[in-house]
Structure 1
């Protein structure tokens, strides 16, 4: 089947979304409106059937620096990769799609395929494939059975949150959880957090809210003070734990434990998958927290590719060393 590389204006958005929605790999990250927010101007590789209709698609989130176009995984978009109408993606399709990308970009800093993608041997020799992971909790069991999968510490902290008589409220105001993140988490992020990232989160939340697939929940104490916030995206059989933060007093009161348990209880017994969007392996405390709810670790293939000129590569390495030193990683 023909494989084409498409610039942004040439993408048939209706066909694209139809493929993503019907695909076995179905994820909200790959819908056109979502990509418009997290990767403006994104491009694509598509495979056509005999009638010229899309049957397989792959988003290409590109950026440009020093006049060089490159691919970088967008914020708020843990997975992308290939989405198709067939039960499995053919090896030839993986190879053809990756070749299309490598022909057009000298540098891929790290492109995350989705957990249903299985990259074959036979990719271009310059391509390096590694793995990261996410944590999935299938919710198709009774709540009592899911609760038994919590660790002893998580059960204890849940009881503490319940005894604190925290209230759960749904909201349309994203600003408190952004403020909590600025105050408590941003300083620990490698490379820092730009103001543009917060603006992008606001835009994305608004797009999600307008489509009725966002649930923004806070816990409040007896005085009405918010002490934790979580943003969940519910679409296509997935519940994505997209963003969360808590102030210092909220951490002690286990507000986020209460909120995650609330979602698990509400959707228990349904064919839904809670995706914790596991963080970088450096964040061992966060990984430990997520794992305490009993999810399964699931690998995500990550593609990297570097054909940068030696001079540009040297400048990039020097810059990375300076950033790491400034952030306390070296």
Structure 2
């Protein structure tokens, strides 16, 4: 997973620390921040999963030890472990999150046979619309496509988030671990686009934008299908990076992706009075 690279963390959350075992045999990044005098650890944007990373197998006992070693001055923790980490829910308050993965080891025809009837029908329609996929779309064009459409419905995104995302995409391209693709209509209008993180064994669907025209023409399913064609057969997994949203989950499963669960852990060490005050003040 690319999220634990030090340069990646430097971009998405400068104030990060880490628990390290031995000579970096195991590492657990901790995105920390102080607000209203309270130090807390939370999941930053653009890093779906963190937790304990190791070249060797990890068991629940190891994960428990890392969680227990988190400094006591970190009072509030809302943090996603990676799917290789598991915790006993009886010991900590955890929630399960859904991710969807598609193994690209098979050839394209075999993967296509695993598509849902609805996905095949959508692709049949999109293939009639003279769509063209182009590589190397500018990150700001993908962001603009998102902001002008889905972004208007999402209130939690700030200008800072968009600036971080733009910088992250450009650095990933520079380092050779990021690639962008766009879908153009027959009038040469960018109607769907996506940015992928690329590691030796994973292709992560990090960010995308889709216009009204893109939805009408089937731009996004066309894009995903083209990506699968380009990368299968191969040793990578297509990581859709979500989702708990039933509609998105249905879309990803339509390509044959399989659910992969990762845990969120929530710890609140604040006393009852302080919890109440923070809740009353909306903090």
Q: Which residue of 1 aligns with 2:2?
A: 28
Cross-structure match for 2:270: 308
Is the 8 Å Cα contact of residues 179 and 197 (structure 2) preserved in structure 1?
yes
Of residues 55, 63, 88, the one that matches 1:85 is: 55
Unaligned runs of 5+ in 2: none
- Consecutive unaligned residues of structure 1, counting only runs of 5 or more, are 1-26, 323-330
Confirm whether residue 153 of structure 1 aligns to residue 118 of structure 2. Answer: yes
Shift of 1:257: 0.8
Structure 2 CA distance for aligned equivalents of residues 275 and 180 of structure 1? 22
The alignment yields a C-alpha RMSD, in angstroms, of 1.9
1:103 alignment partner, SS class: coil
User: Using a 3 Å threshold, how does the CA distance of structure 1 residues 198 and 121 change in structure 2: closer, same or farther?
Assistant: closer
Match of 2:189 in 1: 225
Q: 2:173 & 2:273 partners in 1: Cα distance?
A: 45
Q: Which has the higher contact order (CA 8 A, sep 6+)?
A: 2
- 3-state SS in 1 of match to 2:106: coil
How far off its partner does 1:249 sit? 1.0
Q: 1:315 to 1:165 in 2, by over 3 A?
A: farther
Q: What is the TM-score normalised by the length of structure 1?
A: 0.81
Matches within 5 A, 1:105-254: 105-108=74-77, 110-120=78-88, 123=91, 127-189=92-154, 191-254=155-218
| Structure 1 SS opposite 2:127 | helix
Tell me what 1:63 maps to: 33
What is the rounded CA distance, in whole Å, between the counterparts of 2:213 and 2:281 in structure 1? 37
**Residue equivalent to 1:73:** 43
Preserved CA contact (<8 Å) 1:186 1:192 = no
SS at match of 1:106: strand
Distance 1:291 1:263 in 2: 16
CA distance in 1 between partners of 2:127 and 2:71 (Å): 53
Corresponding residue SS for 2:70: helix
Q: SS at the partner of 2:261?
A: strand
Corresponding residue number in structure 2 for 1:100 = 69
TM-aligned CA distance change 1:155 to 1:46, over 3 Å = same
CA distance in 1, matches of 2:200, 2:39: 32
Cα deviation, residue 218, structure 1: 0.6
How many residues get paired? 283
Shift of 1:121: 6.9
Report the Cα distance in structure 2 between the residues aligned to 1:293 and 1:319, rounded to whole angstroms: 45
Aligned to 2:230: 266
- Given the two structures, how large is their TM-score scaled by the length of structure 2? 0.94
